[in-house]
Amino acid sequence: MMRQFVQLTLLTGILMVEFVPVALTQGRGPDVVATITGISKKTGQVTLQTDDGTVYRIGKKEGWKVGDKVICYQNEPGRKPRLFDCRPWS
């Protein structure tokens, strides 16, 4: 009985480890480089503009200033365009 429990637990763990990375990457589109064009002190929102002229608003992160470039993930096509998980670009 104990041996069967251990086998079932190991099998479940192995299957979960294989599917977790797939689940975490879903919804992430291509990387987009954008320039910070404005920061609202009142709302804490940052205005980003991509090279193609598209403008996005996201929450500010520590150390960002106007003129900095950031790289973000963009959601997949077919949904309302949105940037997330932005980080400094060098």
Q: Is 70 exceeded by the pLDDT of residue 27?
A: no
CA angle 34, 37, 38 (to 5 degrees): 130
| Contact indicator for 34, 55 with CB cutoff of 8 Å | no
Note the pTM of the prediction, 2 decimals.
0.64
Q: How far apart are CA 82 and CA 57, in angstroms?
A: 9
Task: Give me the pLDDT at residue 22, please.
Answer: 46
Q: Is 70 exceeded by the pLDDT of residue 70?
A: yes
Q: What CATH architecture applies to the domain 1-90?
A: Beta Barrel (2.40)
Domain ranges in the chain?
1-90
Task: Give me the pLDDT at residue 80, please.
Answer: 78
Q: Which helix (H) or strand (E) holds 59?
A: strand 55-59
| Contact indicator for 29, 77 with CB cutoff of 8 Å | yes
Task: Give me the pLDDT at residue 8, please.
Answer: 77
Q: Is 70 exceeded by the pLDDT of residue 82?
A: yes
Comparing 11 with 56, which gets the higher pLDDT?
56
Q: Within a 10 A sphere around the Cβ of 36, how many other Cβ atoms?
A: 19
